[in-house]
Every structure is written in C-alpha cells, then in structure tokens.
Amino acid sequence: MTKHAGFIALIGEPNAGKSTLLNRMVGAKISIVTHKVQTTRARIRGVAMEGDAQLIFVDTPGLFKPRRRLDRAMVAAAWGGAADADIVVLMVEAHRGITEGVERILDGLEEIGQNRKVALAINKIDKVPSEKLLALTSDLNARYPFSETFMISAERGHGVDDLRKWLASQLPEGPWLYPEDQIADLPLRMIASEMTREKLTLRLHQELPYQLTVETENWEERKDGSAKIDQVIYVMRDGHKGIVLGKKGETIKAVSQAARAELEEFLDRKIHLFLQVKVRPNWLEESERYSEMGLDFKDGNA
C-alpha cells in the first residue's frame, strides 16, 4: 500500500464553520465550536484517515481585520497555517456570500496560493436556494482559480465525504506522520483548556470571553485511572472575576460541571476538575499566555 500524508489548512472568516468541519472530518470534538466569532485561537491539528491517506487538518483562527495584539497574532497564525499547508480549503458561508472579509482573503490567496492547490467549500448550503448557490460559485471562481469547488453543510455532513475523498487523492506520497489512532497533536492540557473556555464562551454573552483565557496548570494521573485537573481562568479586571464566578458561585459551578462532563466523555474516564479565577490585567501583553495558546507573541506587534 502506497501511503500518502499532508497538511490541509481550513481558512475563512470567523464563524464560517471551520471548527465544525474539522470535527466532522476527524469524527471527534477537538476544536471548540460556538456561535461567537474568534473562538479558535491556536492552530489546532486534527488527523483523519481516508484509505491510504492521512489528512492533517490545520484549523486556523478566523481571518478578520485585526485591532489588538491578540487579533494580530491570530491573523498571522491563520496565514502562517495556510502558507505551510499542502492544500488550502477556503470556506465561505453560502448565505453571506462575498463579504468584505472574503474579498480580503481572496487578495491574500493571490500571494500564498501560487504553489499549492486551493479548494473552495461553500458551507451552510441549506440556508440558500440552489440558483443563489450557482451564482455565488460562479462569482468566486471568476475571482480565483480554485482547483475544485464543493457544496457542503459541515453541521449536517452533506458533501463532507466527497471533500475528504478529494483531499486524500491530492496529498503527496509519503509516510504517515502520526499513529493511525491519533486524532490530534494538541497536548491534552490544551484540549482541556479549550473545552473549559468553550463552556465559558457559551455561558457568558458579553464581550468578556475575548478578554479571558484558560490554562491547565496541573494534571495529576491517579492510581484509580482518573485524573485531577487544575485550571486557572485569567481575566483582566476584578469586575470580570465576579461575572465568571456568578451569584453565589453559580456560573463557575455550571461551567465546571459542563467542562468536566465533556472531558470525561472525550477521555473516557473519571475527571476531577478544579477551576480558579485570577485577575491579570495585562495577560493580553504577556508572551507566556500566547505560547500557551500556540500563538507567536511577536506576530502581535503592530
């Protein structure tokens, strides 16, 4: 059997469905999915198998107009992931069409797309009539010479198998880069942090989630097969700490229970999860926080 392996970067605007597609391709939840934008901070690699091919997905942060250091580091990570990949998949939301953000991404592809195949995946196709889809496909292909176009619904799975088969057929020959049963190369500590951050993002509907980060400080394996996980939620102001804790600690308790349940399902064992909230006014300017998220602090320089 001739083996094939390669890196595939999923790029697009925030909320285009990249994390949902990654999770669907891999068959497990390794990238957090919320309806808030900018939820994917680190370049998360998910590994999927298709016949003799190993597909390594780089789920990049959504591409948007950066304003702060963290934004700039996230956008740099997204373009870095695309530039390093064998194949790039641009995801566009069917109902939003060619937005200003998509225009910017198409311009960026002119620079990095020269030496690699770029596929177009129009997502959320169930939200628009077919004639609108055809017009959008035609407009986008007139703007950029895509190798192939796919109509998909990442959430429902429509068209995803066709996309995965095509990607597998385009990957270079070479040995598999990960064990066959491995689905992600993120450390479990980071996956655990991301799961807790997702629960916080879902629970808190203000702007706060973009001003907090979660770090797994300690991971202790116990003799009975369970694990004790200590996490710290860093916020920027005392007022934010109160919001995260909630009245009589109700919010943090609900977040902890939801994150623990998901971790137990993901790891298939008992988890003892302990959360603390600490105020760090300048965490957005601390290089260690960026390293924890898999981002380059220097990329955030204006």
pLDDT in tens, the chain (302 residues): 789 998 888 888 878 888 889 888 887 665 544 444 444 445 556 788 888 998 888 766 555 565 666 556 655 665 565 567 888 899 999 999 898 888 888 887 877 756 778 999 999 999 999 889 999 999 999 999 999 999 999 999 999 999 999 999 999 999 987 777 666 555 677 778 888 988 888 888 654 655 788 888 888 888 898 889 999 999 888 888 888 998 999 999 999 999 999 888 877 789 999 999 998 887 667 666 666 556 665 655 54
Task: Judge if 126 and 239 occupy the same domain.
Answer: no
* Residue 183, domain member (yes or no): no
Domain that holds residue 11: 4-170
**Predicted local confidence at residue 36, as pLDDT:** 47
- Residues 73 and 217 placed together within one structural domain of the fold: no
The total of structural domains in the chain comes to 2
Residue 107, in any domain of the structure: yes
Residue spans of alpha helices (H) in 53-208: 69-84, 100-112, 130-143, 160-170, 188-203
Residue 238: per-residue pLDDT: 84
Task: Please give the structure tokens belonging to residue 285.
Answer: 């300017």
Distance between CA atoms of 128 and 137, rounded to whole angstroms?
Answer: 13
Give the pLDDT confidence score for residue 34 in this predicted structure. 45
Please check whether residues 119 and 10 belong to one and the same domain: yes
Which neighbouring-strand residues pair with 4?
Answer: 53, 173
Strand pairing of 53-59 and 4-12? parallel
Claim to verify: residue 195 and residue 271 sit in the same structural domain = yes
Residues 116 and 42 in one domain: yes
Alpha helical stretches, state H, 209-285:
238-245, 250-267
Q: Is the residue at 165 inside a domain? A: yes
Q: Which domain CATH number covers 242? A: 3.30.300.20
Order across the sheet with 87-93: list the strands: 44-50, 53-59, 4-12, 87-93, 117-123, 148-151
CB crowding 178-200: b at 16 or more within 10 Å, else e: eeeeebbebeebbbbbbbbbbbb
The reply to whether 39 and 83 lie within a common domain is yes
Is 176 a domain residue? no
Q: At what angle do helices 18-26 and 160-170 cross, to 10 degrees?
A: 80
Statement to judge: residues 145 and 199 lie in one domain = no
Q: How far apart are CA 197 and CA 33, in angstroms?
A: 11
Give the end of a domain, one of 106, 141, 170: 170
Does residue 158 share a domain with residue 16?
Answer: yes
For residue 259, being part of any structural domain is answered with yes
Residues 140 and 72 in one domain: yes
Asked, for residue 179, whether it belongs to a domain, the answer is no
β-pairing, 213-221 vs 4-12, is unpaired
**Predicted TM-score of the model (pTM):** 0.61
240 within 8 A of 213, measured Cβ to Cβ: no
pLDDT given for residue 82 in this prediction: 59
Q: Output the domain CATH number for residue 163.
A: 3.40.50.300
Residue 103, domain member (yes or no) = yes
- Are residue 162 and residue 13 in the same domain, yes or no? yes
Identify whether 50 is part of a domain: yes
